[in-house]
Copies of this chain bind each other. A is one copy, B any other.
Amino acid sequence: MEENMANQELAQELLEKKSFNALKQLLSEMNPADIAEFLKELTNEELLLAFRILPKDQAADTFVEMESDDQETLIRSFSDSELKAVVDDLFVDDAVDILEEMPANVVKRVLRFTDSHTRKWINEILKYPEDSAGSIMTVEYVRLKKNMTVDQAIKHIRRTGVDKETIYTCYVTDLNNKLIGMVSAKTLLLADGDDVIDDIMETNIIYFNTLDDQEDVANAFDKYDFMAIPVVDEETRLLGIVTFDDAIDVLQDEVTEDIEKMAAIIPSEKTYLKTGIFETWKQRIPWLLLLMVSATFTGKIISSFEGALSSCVVLTAFIPMLMDTAGNSGGQTSVTIIRSLSLGDIEMSDIFRIIWKEIRVAVICGLTLAVVNFAKMLLLDSSSITSDGQSAFMVALVVNLTLVVTVIFAKITASVLPIGAKKLGFDPAVMASPFITTVVDALALLVYFNFAKMILGI
């Protein structure tokens, strides 16, 4: 794989040395995804130059793999015939992906060079809501009839297959275009030439509706190991298919989105370095503001125990440790629950099993932490914590009782909130560490000060 990096650097050198023949030769041997990586680093003029050198049959494949601002630059610079050459070779789903990111005048220019049949489909798919199964499907699939023989079907594939996104899963439809079966190229190849499709096709088909969530479609690929999944309308008429490579992209995007939400970021479609300073600010500031204001409550709790605190200032020193441990304990649980929910490993109905498990884990985690911390406080900190007129033992008792109770509270809160959010129709991912931390911080301090009052009599 290191070879690919080396090729990209070599291409860069050849371009700088204007060795265009050698560059053309090198590019013809590179994978389109690697060529796109090489193009990413170029200036606009270099980009156009390098793209024009590309062998014809790689141009469209490379174009699909490029970043959308580079695509836009090229579309704006292309001559009419260059644009037509690229557009002709695009699959409908790729064309849609590209156009979704473009300004209206660029979309218009591209659509002018697509044939009317393709244009109709592109417009159709652009209408489906973002993140729906319809928005990621392609319409270039192989359609068979149930009374075809295997030989006829193979002949049909040979005649029409070159323009199809996949020929490996073929779909069987009736006269009304209803999906009635599917048959793999493997089945066709291994069957007898005289066999009839009706007899060898699979009729228990897992399919999705155009408006289903693309994440559900992608998860089905993970679960069933399919190469393609059909997308139908309300009357189970076949409209398109989603292929595994698009499903992988959706899975990666959805994971990135979840991870961003878990880190209190509003997701964006752009990659990190392509996102501007103000866009990044807009992704990050809402949650920072909300959480900052929420932390006011935690501050109020401290204020209301100011008297107790000033009569035993040493207690303040343990606030960071208690807050961090509460946040970390809660974060562990919430993140585990969020990921398990999204993988389908747990369901909302498991909630009581989950809470019961978390309580038991919390008890032993809390006790372990408290024992270690108790020992540490008595052995290492005892001089500094007795200085206040309270015995080190009593202070340590307050801190470590708080630790145990807080870990239990934190883990229960962190298991209930994501499941509750899902139940209410919200995305559980926002119930991750940052939000949980703010909630359990307040709980931790309430417990702490109340134990302090009870045990130290302050």
A residues engaging B (CB < 8 A)? Answer: 1, 4, 29-31, 33, 154, 157-158, 161-162, 167-168, 185-186, 189-190, 204, 206, 208, 212, 216, 220-225, 227, 244-245, 247-249, 251-252, 255-256, 259-260, 262-265, 271-273, 277-278, 280-281, 284-285, 287-289, 291-293, 295-296, 298-300, 302-303, 306, 309-310, 313-314, 316-321, 323-325, 327-329, 331-332, 334-337, 339-340, 343, 345-346, 350, 353-354, 357, 360-361, 364-365, 368-369, 372-373, 376, 384, 433-434, 437-438, 441, 445
Contacts and interface: CB of A to CB of B under 8 A. Distances in A.
A277 B357 contact: yes
A376 B297 CA distance: 13
Given A162-B190, A260-B336, A365-B288, A324 B437 contact: yes
Given A292-B321, A364-B277, A189 B335 contact: no
A336 B257 CA distance: 10
A335 B260 contact: yes
B260 A31 contact: no
Nearest to A274: B345
Given A158-B190, A161-B189, A272-B354, 14 more contacts: A1-B216, A168-B168, A221-B248, A225-B245, A251-B252, A256-B343, A273-B346, A285-B365, A285-B369, A288-B365, A291-B328, A299-B321, A309-B313, A327-B327
Contact of A272 (B31, B265, B292, B345): B345
Contacts of A291: 324-325, 328
A223 B249 CA distance: 9
Prevailing SS type, chain A contact patch:
helix
Contacts of A292: 321, 324-325, 369, 372-373
B365 A284 contact: yes
Nearest to A246: B225
A361 B265 CA distance: 13
- Residue among A272, A289, A309 with the highest chain B CB neighbour number at 10 A: A272
A363 to B, nearest CB: 9
Contacts of A314: 303, 306
A439 to B, nearest CB: 11
11 contacts: A1-B206, A244-B244, A265-B336, A285-B369, A292-B372, A298-B320, A299-B320, A302-B320, A327-B327, A327-B434, A433-B434
A441 B324 contact: yes
Contacts of A433: 263, 331, 433-434
A321 B345 contact: no
A445 B287 contact: no
A273 B351 CA distance: 11
A343 B262 contact: no
- Residue among A157, A185, A293, A313 with the highest chain B CB neighbour number at 10 A: A313
B263 A332 contact: yes
A317 B297 CA distance: 10
Contacts of A285: 365, 368-369
A273 B302 CA distance: 38
A437 B248 contact: no
Q: Nearest 8 pairs between A and B by C-beta?
A: A263-B335, A225-B245, A295-B321, A298-B320, A299-B317, A271-B345, A272-B340, A302-B317
A332 B262 CA distance: 9
B271 A249 contact: no
Contact of A185 (B185, B287, B293): B185
A299 B322 CA distance: 10
A255 B257 CA distance: 12
Contacts of A167: 185-186, 189
Contacts of A206: 1, 4, 31
A105 B440 CA distance: 47
A264 to B, nearest CB: 6
A4 B220 CA distance: 11
Nearest to A294: B324
A335 B265 contact: yes
A332 B1 contact: no
Nearest to A279: B361
